Amino acid sequence: MGHLCIALTGYIQYNVHYTNTVVFEERTFVKERYYLVREDILPEAVVKTMQVKKLLASGDVRTVHEAVEQVGLSRSAFYKYKDGIHPINQLERDEIVTISIDMEHRSGMLSEVLGLVAGEGGNVLTIHQSIPLQGIANVVISVEVSRLNEELDDLLDGLRRIAGVRRVQMIGQG
């Protein structure tokens, strides 16, 4: 029995087994894994690749060559990483994120958080608030972010700046 293996673009691998005139085929789909990683722990080349992509998208530069020179990145590094890094809110346009917020237990806190989300163009889909412990309540909200006025990071930073908010963390997206 013979065996032939063909890999296409790293995503689908075909294994064909043959004996005389009978052919058996099986497909193996390689599952891509994604991680949510803070920018400050990424390698410099990956961060600079994102800067190059932003320059190109904004129209501030006309060519990849101009952009990589401005940022201080080699073209080969840019091409190595360009298809593997995307701003978190550009992975899907009709995207929902889940945000966990620890806040002081006082009147009006939740209203202020929800007002900021709505003011930035977010659509709150679900709200779950825990019973406050030691003066701190946890709120988990699911927000549709496809129509945000700014970047998702700006919304998260705005939430962090609200007086009484102790911690803001994106815990899911999809």
| Co-location of 116 and 134 in the same domain | yes
With contact defined as beta carbons under 8 Å apart, do 78 and 63 qualify?
no
| Co-location of 65 and 100 in the same domain | no
| Co-location of 29 and 49 in the same domain | no
Mind listing the pLDDT tens digit for each residue in 104-135? 999 999 999 999 999 999 999 999 999 999 99
Do the domain assignments include residue 51? yes
| Co-location of 75 and 113 in the same domain | no
| Co-location of 106 and 152 in the same domain | yes
Do the domain assignments include residue 109? yes
| Co-location of 130 and 77 in the same domain | no
The alpha helices in 4-74, defined as continuous H runs, are: 44-58, 64-71
Write out the two tokens for 55: 């320059």
| Co-location of 130 and 163 in the same domain | yes
Distance separating alpha carbons of residues 14 and 29, to the nearest angstrom? 9
With contact defined as beta carbons under 8 Å apart, do 72 and 48 qualify?
yes
Domain enclosing residue 81, as ranges: 39-86
| Co-location of 102 and 167 in the same domain | yes
Do the domain assignments include residue 128? yes
Mean pLDDT of 64-81: 93
SS3 85: coil
Write out the two tokens for 34: 């994604």
Instruction: Answer with the residue of higher pLDDT: 10 or 107.
Output: 107
Query: Which residues, 6+ apart, have CB-to-CB distance to 2 below 8 Å?
Result: 17, 18, 19
| Co-location of 77 and 133 in the same domain | no
Give just the sign of the alpha carbon dihedral 78, 148, 117, 99. negative
| Co-location of 11 and 66 in the same domain | no
Total domains present in the chain: 3
Do the domain assignments include residue 91? no
C-beta neighbour count of 165 within 10 angstroms: 19
The torsion of the CA quartet 80, 10, 32, 50, rounded to 10 degrees, works out to 20
Do the domain assignments include residue 146? yes
Mean pLDDT of 144-161: 91
Distance separating alpha carbons of residues 134 and 139, to the nearest angstrom? 15
What is the pLDDT, as a whole number, of residue 29?
52
Q: Which of 64, 137, 78, 68 is nearest to 104 (CA)?
A: 137
| Mean of all residue pLDDT scores within the chain | 82
pTM exceeds cut of 0.85: no
With contact defined as beta carbons under 8 Å apart, do 65 and 56 qualify?
no
